[in-house]
Structure 1
Amino acid sequence: MKLSALGRIALATGIAVLTTGVLPSPAHAAAAPVKKKILPVLVEFSDASFQYPDKVKASTPDTYFGAKKDSVTSFLSEVSRGQYTMVPAVKEQFVGPIKLPMKAGGCDHGQINTLTRAELTKRGLVEGKDYDSLSMVFPAQKTECFWAGLATVPGGTTWINLYGTASGLDVVGHELGHNLGFAHQGRLVCTGGKLTACKSDGGSAKTIMGGGGWVSGFSAPELIRAGWLSGSATLKVTKSGAYTLRSLHGVGSGTRALDIALGKDRLVIEYRHAAGSLDAKIEGVHAYRVPKGAYGSSSIIDTTVKNKEAADADAIKTLTDKTNKVSVAVVSSGGGQARVKVALNGESLSAVEATPTKTATPSPKATGASPSASASTEAKVEVETGGSEPVTETSSGTDLAATGTLSSTLPLAAGGGAALLAAGAGVLVLRRRRKRA
């Protein structure tokens, strides 16, 4: 599958504007492997149709359910290590094209949602019974939408503003990440590895949610948020010690992330190395700041000055936070394994034992099941972010995330309701992810 130029641009970075809606926290219970039924629906308008309908109909099953690694089902199965995947809701693998009684202009995604669901109901397809996730795909030529994709955060609804004949996994997978409760992952530049001297600068390239593309998978905080690093795969560090990490992605058991208290926030440490079809161009130990336990809204910590295209770009060597009395140092890294020292309570890294401490405990197990949201509950909004906006995860609230350029207000009509998003402190026009020296 090929991603159009506009689709690639739409995966760059933007800015976050959070409403009162917040992301739900992971549940504290183990879950069996999850299969979600997704229903792609091809949507046309009274004044706009697909330019190449046969090609769109041929590419849609490929994008969502193809056997290749760059399909939605293959990607989610691999990145979750078999704990989560999506299957076709109907035998034909998609529905449509459906001709909606509305014009394309104005980008009325709420009306698209309402009319599409009404048509599905007429056809006997019931949400929650026949399908868990709805993905509406429509031609972009006349819509005037400023985004290539839109999604509920969390939830089960995506809108794909199709440029060409296939958006590809980079767009669709990104929006489904929002459905899982992931915001956009920002980048914090921390001078000299000091966590008290950081500034927000663009997006992370270590996740599909930060512009890294599907081949970077999801980051450790996102996997924790989804419940895919439960049990001993994530260790909560409670005393100083040295720890061995295996690569974040790939099959097999072992510790894949360290979770460290940083005041009210969390510090998550991961090791990245090529595994399967993921991380072929990523190497090294990486760190993330998790604001107030909101694992789906983390930011990568960058202490390097290397070109961002380097394999070990953003990889850390040392981190210090004098305020919270935490220090981290990478002892060794490479070949699929890393050794990391962690000093807490102001202790010296040089005094840390060379063997793993027995006081580390597995993080609480979390379910891999993602929350669902019906059309009638999609009443709050979130738009793309390139920075870190502290939020608190609770068990309520559904937002929208738009992949694309941004206006100061975003009309939202879901299930007949309406709301407006105030742009707040800042709005950025979407841009290509630049190379940083």
Structure 2
Amino acid sequence: MKTSALGRIALATGITALTTGLIPTTAHADDATVERKVLPVLVEFTDSSFQHPDKVKESTPDTYFGAKKDSLASFFSELSRGRYKVVPVVDDQYVGPVKLPMAASCDHGEINTLTQKALAEQGLVRGEDYDSLSMVFPAQKTGCSWAGLGSVPGPYTWINLYGTASGLGVVGHEFGHNLGLGHQMRSVCTDGNLVDCKENGTSAKSMMGGGGPAMGISAPEMIRAGWLDDSEAVEVAESGTYELRSLHGEGSGVRALDIPMGEDRLVVEYRHAAGSFDQNLEGVHAYRVPKGNYGSSSLIDLTEANKTAGNDAPAEADAITSLKDVASKVSLAVTSSGDGGVTVRVSLNGEDLSDVADVPEETAAPAPEHTGTDTDAGDGLPDGAEAKSGGQEKVTGSEGSEAGGSENLAATGGDSGTLLLAGGGVALVAAGACALSLMRRRRRA
């Protein structure tokens, strides 16, 4: 699949991916609840301190662990439907401010090394007392081009704080990188086939693709995080007719189809208002998963539209009703939609779609919830910025340091000139219903 320089703009909250390696290709689905002990640390430098430390101290617990839906803990709890819980480590829910013996800098490796040393002196050791370390420091003298940085995957986030509080759009995005999620791009295939596609911008269907927290994350990213079980993410083994309910929200049912497409996978989802997510998004979408790397999926766009939260295009402007890939002999078509669900016919091995059996009427999809909205904006890329292919470029840190020198990193964001890309849609392909043949998803460790 061809890519274009135009498509190599990275996304959310002004993100440019910074990586020195490859994002893992494995994914797994597990019903077990993961409890992640997160330790935010307020960090200061010898020549730079928080201008309003009391306000920073007050906002930090709310940002990470607050009861409102725009906290990191509430966001991940709803998004994972209770499978992933973010919990505090200490009574105050943060540590600091800690004064590091270094001048203000963007040297993430040195900041990490010195922060962990200071924490160890207080009896707090990563892997024993906490799982994830989030370093929050004043931005006034650092000169960093990013507002947030996260290891991909890993336990570290760096928040280059402008003002007195960092929002979910930055913090949540960086913790998404910690889950192994890269920047989700958009592949435009306007000839109706997937042979000759061009990368053009970001997906706008995920917090990792310029959509902001209001979009949650996409189906392949949910698979990578382990938040869809075998009955929710179905591997399609043969031609058939399938029914999909909305990706987000409470209830049971099939939420994603995982279809073989040569060496890659094709993941199909249906997006519809549910809980706090997708209030301004509607329709069927599909993603190319390169060689099983669910954290590096890209949205397939077969339309000329570009639905985002920043324009007044209809919620389903990017949605499509059919898709065909000649090379892998895969095709699909949406045959019905309504009541919070869609039905799709899937053809493998070049079989004619008209030969695929219809779904019985009694297998209607459960209606999703429609409660709540999410007013938090998304992420954006500073004007004129351009990331490398897939939104990734190499960076270096403290060489060989466990404290974050040479692992994969992804940066979010920027200064007040950051363009916010919130919202909307590019849709696509079909989603489906009543599985005539479902193969249990194999676990991905």
| TM-score class, shorter | 0.7 to 0.9
Give, in whole Å, the separation in 2 of the partners of 1:186 and 1:65.
30
Correspondence for 2:47: 47
The change in CA–CA distance for 1:197 and 1:10 in structure 2 (over 3 A counts) is: closer
What is the alpha-carbon distance in structure 2 between the residues aligned to residue 419 and residue 35 of structure 1? 26
Q: Deviations over 1:215-250 (max 9, x none)?
A: 100100000011111211011111111110000001
1:306 equivalent in alignment to 2:310? no
Q: Deviations over 1:45-73 (max 9, x none)?
A: 01001111111111111100111111000
Cα deviation code 1:185-207 (max 9, x no counterpart)? 01000113311121100111110
Does the alignment pair 1:88 with 2:73?
Answer: no
1:248 aligns with 247
C-alpha change, 1:302 and 1:234, in structure 2 (3 Å) is same
Q: What residue in structure 1 maps to residue 154 of structure 2?
A: 155
**Structure 1 residues 315 and 156, CA gap change in structure 2 (3 angstroms):** same
In structure 2, distance between residues paired with 1:386 and 1:430: 18
Which sections of structure 2, spanning at least 5 residues, go unmatched?
1-9, 361-384, 409-416, 427-445
Matched, 1:410 2:391: no
Aligned to 1:26: 27
Paired residues of 2:20 and 2:394 also in contact (CA < 8 A):
no
5 Å-filtered alignment, 1:181-200, equals 181-200=180-199
Question: Residues of 2 paired with 1:148 and 1:110: CA distance?
Answer: 16
- What is aligned with 2:356? 352
Is contact 1:50–1:139 with CA below 8 Å preserved after alignment?
yes
Shift of 1:109: 1.1
CA apart distance, 1:144: 1.3
User: Equivalent residue for 1:341?
Assistant: 345
Aligned counterpart, 1:288:
287
* 1:231 aligned partner: 230
Deviation for aligned residue 1:11: 2.5
Q: Per-residue CA shift, 1:87-112, capped at 9, x if unaligned?
A: 0011110001111111003x111111
**Deviation (angstroms), 1:212:** 0.4
Q: 1:18 to 1:168 in 2, by over 3 A?
A: closer
Change in CA separation of 1:65 and 1:420 when aligned onto 2, cut-off 3 Å: closer
Number of residue equivalences? 377
**Fraction of identical pairs, as percent:** 60
**SS of structure 2 residue aligned to 1:126:** coil
Counterpart for residue 66 of structure 1: 66
Q: TM-score, normalised by structure 2?
A: 0.79
For 1:234 and 1:385, the matched residues in 2 are separated by 31
Q: CA deviation at 1:384?
A: 9.2
Letter in 2 for 1:326: V
Partner SS for 1:411: coil
Structure 1 residue 35 and structure 2 residue 35: aligned?
A: yes
Identify, as 1 or 2, the structure richer in strand: 1
Distance 1:417 1:352 in 2: 51
Between the aligned partners of 1:263 and 1:388, the Cα distance in structure 2 is 21
SS of residue matched to 2:96: strand
Letter of the structure 2 residue corresponding to residue 285 of structure 1 = V
Give the conservation status (yes or no) of the 8 Å contact 1:13–1:203: no
Instruction: Using the TM superposition, name which of 331-340 and 198-207 deviates more.
Output: 331-340
Decide whether the 8 Å contact of 1:185 with 1:386 is kept in 2.
no
CA distance in 2, matches of 1:77, 1:272: 19
What residue is the counterpart of 2:164 in the other structure?
Answer: 165
Q: Is the 8 A contact 2:40 2:94 kept in 1?
A: yes
Q: Is the 8 A contact 2:18 2:394 kept in 1?
A: no
